[in-house]
Amino acid sequence: MLTHRRWESLDTADLGWLRAKYHFVVSADGNPAHAALGPLIVWNDDEIAVGSGFPMHGHRDMEIITYVRQGLLGHRDTLGSEGTLHAGDVQVMSAGTGIRHAEFNRGEVPLKVYQIWLQPRKAGGEPAWDTKPFPKGDRSGRFVVLASGFDGDEGALPVRAEARVLGAMLKGGESVRYELPPAHRAYLVVASGRIELNGESVGPLDGVAITQLAAAQIVALEDSELVMVDAG
C-alpha cells in the first residue's frame, strides 16, 4: 500500500529565519493523516536563512539524523563536538540521557536539511554525535545505506533504532528496486526530480509511506535524488 503525502498537503511553519514543512504531524492541530510510521516520528524539511539557526537546546532519548541538501550546516554540542557539513553529508546524534546542541547556517545561501527523528530501541545510554560525507556519485543508480541500526550495514553511521536511512541518485530512465522484509514499513521522499513508485507518479519534495508491500520499484522520470527510511 502506498500513501502519498504531497508537498502541498504537509503542515508548514514560517518563522522568517526558518521555513519548515512537516512530513509527520508535530502538533495537535496538524494533519491527522500524517501519523508516525513505527519508530519514524519526525521528518522535517527545513530551510534556514543565512546567518540564522537553532540556538543551544536540549534533547533526550531520540535518534536524530540530519541530511544536508544544500549549503553549509554548523554544529556545536555539549559533548564538545563541532563540525561543518556540506550537501550530501549526514549527521547522527544519539541524544541518550541528554544532550544540548546548536545548529546554524554557516554558508552564504539558504541551508536546506532534512531532520529525521527515530525512537530508540530503549531509553538512556551515553549521548553521542558523528558525521560522515556520502558522495552523491557513490549513490549513482543505487541505494546506499547512510545510517543504520541493523547488523551488516557496513559503512553506515550507527543509530540505536530499528531503522535504516538510505539515499540514491538516479538519472532519468534509471530504475532501482528495494526489497522490504516482511512487516517492514518505509518512507520515501523525492528530494529533487520526479519518479514513479510502483506505478504511481511522485513529484519533487513529495513523500510516500510504503506499507504491506514486498518491494519498492522506482523508475526515475527525470534526474532524481531520493532519501528513504526503512522503518523496520
pLDDT at 84: 97
CATH of domain 2-230: 2.60.120.10
Q: Is 101 annotated as a binding residue?
A: yes
CA pair distance 28, 133, nearest whole angstrom: 36
pLDDT at 190: 98
Average pLDDT for 112-137: 97
pLDDT tens profile 31-68: 999 999 999 999 999 999 999 999 999 999 999 999 99
Residue 171 predicted with pLDDT over 90: yes
Q: Is 34 annotated as a binding residue?
A: no
Q: Is 47 annotated as a binding residue?
A: no
CA pair distance 185, 24, nearest whole angstrom: 15
Characterise 108 by phi-psi region: left (phi > 0), alpha (psi -120 to 50), beta (else): alpha
- Residue that wins the pLDDT comparison between 182 and 170: 170
Q: Is 184 annotated as a binding residue?
A: no
Average pLDDT for 8-16: 97
What mean pLDDT is reported for the chain? 97
Per-domain boundaries in the chain = 2-230
Residue 28 predicted with pLDDT over 90: no
pLDDT band of residue 135 (cuts 50, 70, 90) is very high
